[in-house]
Structure formats: structure tokens, C-alpha cells
Structure 1
């Protein structure tokens, strides 16, 4: 009897590794790679997510296992990375076992039908910065950051605690080559499109795009084509006119929320009404932070370390004397408890300094 293909695996089947048996309870998702099964570890009774690949000998699986094995050296709880449990073959299916998480940021926005507030975006951002700092230290570029690949751990019990997932397209920083095409189009850094040297900085660009998606509810840059994406970068970020001239005749614009010609400053400032000055100041800090991540020059773009010291993350600009009576500041502090800082991080907060109490000072560019 021939072995079943991955898509013939069904509920209540039992997947067997060398030491553990997993009962398939349900299927949580399906993609070009195969399926994700919700399974019960029959040895520990732990609910586990198992990624079942279509082809057992696919070189992509080997690459993913290599990256996951390297990432195992990091603490998945402190570094906000998905916990990799095991990899095994079951008949003709290649299986990767992970901790079971809640839902993706993409799913969250679809379910609640509203965008996230800055209070909600901030802890997500801080946790991802910790993850990317850890990956940078061990020389790994994720290359596939998007809302689908950021998972809430348990949104009911720990609101907005997240982990970075899916290292199927991750690359060692030492092995990237000029001209490689990586990242989804709408989250692709300019240096990738233009054939310039690639580094960990491309993940920071993608983080800026994800933050904007959470804030606006749509991609900051259109993903229909590289041309449309780069044209939008030029217009939205006010990059040099020389590139716009080099792009030729402008085609009809695709459907895109920023088609009215606003740049990023105006888009953030005018997106929604602001109730008080504290909220406006926070919005300007967010804008300044976003522009630091979306710096078209990879050399001056925010690094994870630098970004963690920015006032949008540290909330230094919210530390007024009347903070105890300011509901906006109180709400911001409450949601940040999901990503507490250790002692070494606290020292960084103290040296950052306040950008300015004048919002205009935040609009002069990303340099700190």
C-alpha cells in the first residue's frame, strides 16, 4: 500500500516521530508548502502546530530546518521567536513541529474590522525589535516579514504579546548576494528592488511597512508590481525627483489608499482626529519612528538597537508630571506590560533623551 500524500492526512490520523506520537485534531491553514495541523502530543498532552510539507526532499525544507536549528540557540520566550520543537518524516511527508500560537496579525485585523491604535502597535513593535536584534546577532535575515508571519501568543490572556514565525525563506546574512529577489513586493526594501547590497536592514524596512499596515489597515506601498511599489516609495517618502524622471510615463494608478498625493507626514497627521495634545505628540513620535525605519538609505536606516531607544518605544515623550492623571499615557503604559524590559534595557531608556515637546521637531527627519 502506497504512503499517503500530505494532503491525504486527515483528522484523527496519528503522526509519528522517533519518540512522539501526534494526534491530528484539525487543520489551521494551507499554503503552497502544504498544511498546518493542530495536533495533540500524546506523550505530554501539549497542543502542537505541525507544518506538513508537500514534498519530503524539497531543498527548501532543509534550509528551513537549518535556520530553525540555528535559532534554537536563542531563548524563544525572551526573544519573541516561535519555539521549534522537532522535525521528522512521517511516511512521505516532512513535518516540522512548533508550539501552538493564537492567530496572526492579519487574522486579527480581519476579525476586528478596525485598525490598531498606537497603544497596540507599540508593544508589537518593541517585541519584534527584540526578535530582530537577536536574529542580527546570530547573522540571520528573516526576509519574509508581513502581518501573516507575526503571531499573537494568547490574545485573550496576554493581549498583543507576539512571536515571529516562518523561517522558510530566512537566509544567513553571510550568504546573501546582490541581485537576489527576496521579500513580498509590498514589503520589499528599495535596495532589493534596485539590485544593491542586501543586509539585515531589509527586515527593518519590512517592519516599518507592517507598522503602517496595522495603523492604516492597508499596505503603505502597493504590491501589484515592482514599478508601482517604487513609484509609491518616491512619492510617499519624498525621495529625489531624479528617480521619478527615470521611471518614464506614469501609468494609471492601481487602487491604493494613498492615491490622493499625500506624503507620509500628511497621511499620519490627517489619518484621524486627535483628542488631546499628548495623543498628537505620540502620533508625531510614531511618524518620526516610521520614517527612521523607512529610510531609503539602508546605511542610515534604524537598526533594531537604535529603534528600541526611540521615544516611540520608550514612551519618554509621555513621561510628563501629570502622567498619572493622563488617561492616554496610562493606557499606553498598561499595554506595554506585555513586553517588560530587563535591567540592561532600562539603562538604555534613561539615555535616550526627549526628542522635543514641540511636534515640529519630530517632523524634520529620522535622525536622532
Structure 2
């Protein structure tokens, strides 16, 4: 499914740690023996460990950034208010810092929905999607109840618990980008490109509703066997959203901080309307500035470097 459904986790294979990398991670009273890496991302690595005291397997997230660690632990502590089993949320086991390693231990689960789709090489049926939908709605409803945005709902972050014994029982994982809804601010960046809600892209107020948009994208991916909103940049995704769902209403575009990155207001009529910009427009505008007959008015190299045709990357690749 490579190239069809996006993933930010490099977990295509599970490789044992090298002999020299085998280690023991020690909390105050518990030792965790690292068995193998089971995933890696920009945040750090995930290792399968065994709790030597309880003889139980755990998934150990080893973060590079101690600030990321502190933020995630803060969110996980808030989750202690919830019944994680009942609400289909990953179980938080332990956290500690040892040497230069910031470690968070979770219950050990089976595999992600992304991995499942890769292995099946086929979409899920509606009868398979239905229980997944219900469980994730329960999870998001629980998070909304305590005022938390997950902000990173995607195939990688939904894990099967034990697919052989409990088919399609899932849990929502990874609270590294989660935040209190009260702290969400319009204009802030959140969510991977393929799952990013229009209000995030446009710079509108943000609420728990962004997780529902991501859930819709996830369910569509399960059904279609590809991302529903495909593109290498936020502009591409916005273009696809407009093609499939229609352009966001003018009152949203009027209020968006970033609307002008994607849309242009037509002023040729009394009732001017927004329309999606085209890459050709940006290019032609740059040419006009380069080819200005007045040398004093001609665009400078520095100004040209900041022109929207050159800086399309500011619309672009945002991945977790």
C-alpha cells in the first residue's frame, strides 16, 4: 500500500536490536529489558520490552526531546481520569528518564491499522469498518469529555489489540501532539497533511472537531484503500477538498488567517467571491514583476525569493 495511504512511522519491518544495543532500562523499582525496535519516527523510537519484575511485555516509547516527553506525560496523566479499556485508549504504564533516554511505557498491542492494510493489500469491508468506527467514536467522545484534542488521528495511531483473538478491537494511541482544547489557537499547525481539517489549513478557530475530520479521512482510507485527500502539499489537499466536497463557504474564507495562501477574491463584480488560486497565476505574477520595464520597480532577488511561486513549500510538507 506504499504510496497510496500515508504513514509517518517507519515500521515496515521489525528488526532485532544489535547485540551492542541490547540494554536494560531501569526505573526506580522496575527493570525493562529491550528486546527489539518495533517502530521509529521523528520523535524517536519504539521498542518492545519486557518488564523483568512482572514478566510482561510493554511498548517503550523512547523520545529524543525531553520537552516532548514532558508534554506527552502531562496529557497521559489527564487520561488517568478515564477507563482506558472502556474508552479504547492505550494503557499508560510508566514513565521515567534514565541517562539521556526519556521513556514512556505503554501496554503492548498488536499492530496498527496501517500495518494491517499493508498486509491485506485490500480495503476493509463495511462490516469490518463499522466496529472500528464505533470504538474510535467512543475514544474521541471520552477525550472530548475531558477537553483534550488528540490532533494526530491516523492509521498509524490506531492499534489492533489482539487481532487473532479479538478481531478488529482497536485502541487509539500516541498522545505526543495532544493538547487541552482550551489551549488550541487559531493559526496553529496541527495534523498530518492528508488528515488536516480545513479550519487548521485556513487558520480558523480550532476545537475537538478537527479529530472528527481526521476520523473521516481515516475511515475513507480503510474503505478506498488510499487516502481520500491526496497531495504533496497543503494546496494539493485543499484543491482535492474543493473538488470532492465543494469550496468552503465564504464566511469561513473571509475569517481565515491563511485563506490568501489558497484562494483569490474575484473583484470583477459587485458580489466578489473567493476562488482557488492556480500555480500558473503565481508564476505569471512573478514574471510580471521580473519583466517590469521600470528598473526601479522591478522585483529584487530577495523579494523574488519570498514570492509565493517560489515559496510554495510554505503550503507544503507538514508531517509528524
Tell me whether the two structures share a fold, i.e. TM-score over 0.5.
Answer: yes
Structure 1 position 190, deviation (Å): 0.5
Cα distance in 2 between the residues matched to 1:8 and 1:92: 19
SS in 1 for 2:242: helix
Structure 1 position 240, deviation (Å): 5.9
Q: Is the 8 A contact 1:48 1:97 kept in 2?
A: yes
Structure 1 position 246, deviation (Å): 2.3
SS in 1 for 2:277: coil
RMSD of the TM alignment (CA)?
Answer: 1.9
1:23 maps to what in 2? 33
Q: Determine whether 1:38 maps to 2:54.
A: no
Structure 1 position 11, deviation (Å): 5.4
Alignment match of 2:24 (pick from 4, 7, 14): 14
Q: Determine whether 1:227 maps to 2:265.
A: no
Structure 1 position 19, deviation (Å): 1.3
SS in 2 for 1:124: helix
Which structure's CA Rg is the greater one? 2
Structure 1 position 101, deviation (Å): 0.4
2:159 maps to what in 1? 151
Alignment match of 2:135 (pick from 123, 127, 130): 127
Q: Which has the higher helix share?
A: 1
Cα distance in 2 between the residues matched to 1:121 and 1:139: 26
**CA deviation vs aligned residue, 1:300-348 (integer Å, no higher than 9, x gap):** xxxxxxxxxxxxxxxxxxxxxxxxxxxxxxxxxxxxxxxxxxxxxxxxx
Tell me the matched-pair count.
243
Cα distance in 2 between the residues matched to 1:155 and 1:101: 9
Q: Determine whether 1:85 maps to 2:93.
A: yes
Q: Using a 3 Å threshold, how does the CA distance of structure 1 residues 19 and 9 change in structure 2: closer, same or farther?
A: farther
Q: Which has the higher strand share?
A: 2
Q: Is the 8 A contact 1:64 1:168 kept in 2?
A: yes
Structure 1 position 12, deviation (Å): 3.8
Q: Could you state the TM-score of these two structures normalised by the residue count of structure 1?
A: 0.63
Q: Is the 8 A contact 1:10 1:24 kept in 2?
A: no
Structure 1 position 249, deviation (Å): 2.7
Cα distance in 2 between the residues matched to 1:9 and 1:144: 34
2:180 maps to what in 1? 172
**Aligned runs of 1:203-352 on 2, under 5 Å?**
203-239=211-247, 246-249=275-278
Cα distance in 2 between the residues matched to 1:246 and 1:186: 22
SS in 1 for 2:168: coil
Q: Which runs of 5+ in 1 are unaligned?
A: 1-6, 252-368
Structure 1 position 150, deviation (Å): 0.3
Bigger mean CA deviation after superposition, 237-246 or 160-169: 237-246
Cα distance in 2 between the residues matched to 1:240 and 1:69: 37
Alignment match of 2:64 (pick from 24, 43, 54): 54
Cα distance in 2 between the residues matched to 1:163 and 1:30: 19
Cα distance in 2 between the residues matched to 1:22 and 1:63: 23
1:140 maps to what in 2? 148
List structure 1 runs of 4+ shifted beyond 2 angstroms: 7-12, 238-246, 248-251
**CA deviation vs aligned residue, 1:178-236 (integer Å, no higher than 9, x gap):** 10010001101101111111000000000000000000011110241111111111110
**CA deviation vs aligned residue, 1:256-304 (integer Å, no higher than 9, x gap):** xxxxxxxxxxxxxxxxxxxxxxxxxxxxxxxxxxxxxxxxxxxxxxxxx
Q: Is the 8 A contact 1:11 1:25 kept in 2?
A: no
Structure 1 position 250, deviation (Å): 5.9
**CA deviation vs aligned residue, 1:123-177 (integer Å, no higher than 9, x gap):** 0010000000000010000000110000000000000000000000001001011
Q: Using a 3 Å threshold, how does the CA distance of structure 1 residues 96 and 126 change in structure 2: closer, same or farther?
A: same
